[in-house]
Chain A
């Protein structure tokens, strides 16, 4: 009994720690993004609040919390209030299966550094991340505004087009690791990360991840210069904040997924495993920010062409080639 109580306590502690770390990282990614974007556009970015502007996320939270929580008159109130939560929660849920370090011994117990190591980990990730679109769509629809609706519908069609290539680009990874478990996938990359073994799958997955996170060059659902704010036009205060933070949580989570699937997870020389994991995730996030600073937004037909006519056949072909190579090798 006490044994299982200790395990339960450890799970609770792990959950709490992950929750805190991800929210902290998301808050400071906002600041990092504003700083880096500022530097890339030859300006300073926020530097007034605290030393180097480090208190800016705190100030933002206070500002958003004290603003009016506004619901449009003709909006569908319940869905309108629910939608930002869906976005943030689905992004957080994905992290439940992401392993961020090898098994460690704490209080005489073998503790794997992952909340649950499901044997269908990859499918869980795909399933939960496909739920995220409901937040965008329902938020856009419930606002009862043309701009929001257009943003939501765009998010929907974009998700349908890229979800497929996202899943298919992971098939070679599963074939090489011979397992659906994320821990096994990391273990399989002990010597060589899958990025070097299968760069095509990495490329397709990276593009799909960018599309999934609704960031430039795939931010059509919230294209500011056509749709005001897209699906979150009508949101204010902390509900807008939840959408906003959800996007950055998504960045952290998708960065971790890229790290686990292609960059070898926590494996690396000299430094401790947790440090390697963190460095890789932050590098991917920095890459996202860099891309935002240097790319224009895709046109809608370009988006569809890229998804259906280039990425989908490419990932299918990649599965065939990987299968053939694995057969010839083994």
Chain B
């Protein structure tokens, strides 16, 4: 019961945050809403019995990729503008607060549900990190290796492009 309720709650938050991320004019706000949406997605993963994916979702997407996005946006010198929000309708102001509050409510319910004594709450069929690791690195070992090879190709490629740019700049300096 609680789990179903939480699923719809988190789904609503994720959808709302994603819509807000698209319609926002200020890129910094878009990033914040996207982080919020990623957070609710991670909690949904947790609810579905995949704590490992949930944690990786937060570490990789919210903790690394969004931070990188934010870094680039900061470099673009986007300044805060209050003019747009001043003329905006009322829900523009309390919308973000509501979304955040809903996420927190879900989180609290989840922490209560984690308690092993109470019978109802989060389902008990969680995939432990150990099971997850065995499945990933035994059954799908080849796929994992192919993907990691591709990632290293991409890294080497990016490095190569960066190197030639720098070398070109140096040659221009010399001539």
A-side residues, CB < 8 A to B, are 3-4, 7-8, 11, 74-79, 116, 118-120, 123-124, 126-128, 130-131, 133-134, 137-138, 141-142, 144, 149, 152-153, 156-157, 159-160, 163, 167, 180
Contact B70–A130 (Cβ < 8 Å): no
| Interface status of B3 (Cβ within 8 A of chain A) | no
Q: A4's contact among B35, B51, B59, B118, by CB below 8 Å, is which?
A: B118
15 additional A-B pairs beyond A4-B118, A124-B55, beta carbons within 8 Å, are A8-B118, A74-B79, A76-B81, A77-B82, A79-B80, A119-B129, A120-B51, A123-B129, A126-B55, A134-B32, A134-B35, A144-B80, A149-B74, A153-B74, A160-B71
Report the separation of the CA atoms of residues A180 and B132 in the bound assembly, to the nearest whole angstrom. Answer: 12
Which residue in B32, B111, B117, B129 is a CB contact (below 8 Å) of A138? B32
Q: How large is the interface on B (under 10, 10 to 19, 20 to 34, 35 or more residues)?
A: 35 or more
CB of A116 within 8 A of CB of B68, answer: no
Residues of A close to B79: CB separation below 8 A: 74, 144
A74 near B80 with CB under 8 A, answer yes
User: What is the distance, in angstroms, from B156's C-beta to the closest C-beta of chain A?
Assistant: 16
Closest Cβ neighbor of A156 among chain B residues = B71
List B contacts of A118 (CB < 8 A). Answer: 51
Q: Do B52 and A127 touch across chains, with their CB atoms under 8 A apart?
A: no
Cβ contact within 8 Å between A130 and B80 = no
B148 interface residue (CB < 8 Å to A)? no
Query: Which residues of chain A are within 8 angstroms of B64 by Cβ–Cβ distance?
Result: 130, 160, 163
Looking across the interface, which residue of chain B has its beta carbon closest to that of A74? B80
Nearest-neighbor residue (CB-CB) of A130 within chain B: B63
Name the one of B67, B96, B126 contacting A133, with C-beta atoms under 8 angstroms.
B67
Q: Is residue B28 within 8 Å, beta carbon to beta carbon, of the partner chain?
A: yes
Instruction: Tell me, in angstroms, the Cα distance from A180 to B126 when the chains sit together.
Output: 15
Closest to A146 in B: B77
Q: Does B62 contact A (CB under 8 A)?
A: yes
* B62, A78: Cβ atoms closer than 8 Å: no
Q: How distant is the Cα of A119 from the Cα of B32 in the complex, in angstroms?
A: 28
Please give, as numbers and ranges, the residues of chain A lying within 8 Å of B71 by CB-CB distance. Answer: 153, 156-157, 160
Answer yes or no: B75 CB below 8 A from chain A CBs. yes
Q: Is B48 an interface residue (CB 8 A)?
A: no
* In the complex, chain B residues 45-103 whose Cβ is within 8 Å of any chain A Cβ: 51-52, 54-56, 58-59, 62-64, 67-68, 70-71, 74-75, 79-82, 93, 96
CA gap between A160 and B96 in the complex, in Å: 26
Check A123 against B74 for contact (C-beta < 8 Å). no
How far, in whole Å, are A74 and B82 apart by their CA atoms in the complex? 8
Nearest CB of B to A176, in Å: 15
Chain A residues with Cβ below 8 Å from B111 are 11, 116
| 13 examples of A-B residue contacts, CB within 8 angstroms | A74-B82, A77-B82, A120-B129, A127-B55, A127-B59, A130-B59, A134-B32, A134-B67, A134-B70, A141-B28, A153-B71, A153-B75, A167-B59
Main secondary structure of the interface of B (DSSP, over half): helix
Q: Is the CB of B70 within 8 A of A126?
A: no
Residues of B within 8 A of A134 (CB): 32, 35, 67, 70
Instruction: Report yes or no: A78 in contact with B67, Cβ–Cβ below 8 A.
Output: no
CB contact between A127 and one of B63, B119, B126 (< 8 Å): that residue: B63
5 cross-chain pairs, A with B, having the tightest CB-CB distances, nearest first:
A130-B63, A76-B80, A123-B55, A127-B58, A4-B118
- Chain B nearest CB: distance from A245 CB in Å? 21
- Asked whether any CB of chain A lies closer than 8 Å to the CB of B9, the reply is no
Give, as a whole number of angstroms, the nearest-CB distance from A294 to chain B: 31
Residue of B nearest to A140 (CB): B74
Q: Are A160 and B129 in contact (CB under 8 A)?
A: no
Q: Known contacts A74-B80, A141-B74, A142-B80; is A123 also within 8 Å of B59 by CB?
A: yes
Q: Are A120 and B55 in contact (CB under 8 A)?
A: yes
Q: Give Cα A163–Cα B67 distance, bound, in whole angstroms.
A: 11
A4 to B35, CA, bound (A): 34
Chain B: which residue is nearest A178 at the CB level? B130
Decide yes or no whether B114 CB sits under 8 A from chain A: yes
Partner of A152 from B32, B63, B74 at Cβ < 8 Å: B74
Q: Chain A residues with Cβ under 8 A from B63's Cβ?
A: 126-127, 130-131, 163
Task: Say if the beta carbon of B4 comes within 8 Å of chain A.
Answer: no
Known contacts A130-B59, A163-B63; is-contact A3 B117 (Cβ 8 Å): yes
Residues of B102-136 at the interface with A, using a CB-CB cut-off of 8 Å, are 111-112, 114-115, 117-119, 126, 128-129
Give Cα A119 to B50, complex, Å: 11
Across-interface contacts of A74 in B (CB, < 8 A): 79-80, 82
Complex CA–CA separation, A137 to B75 (angstroms): 12
Across-interface contacts of A77 in B (CB, < 8 A):
82
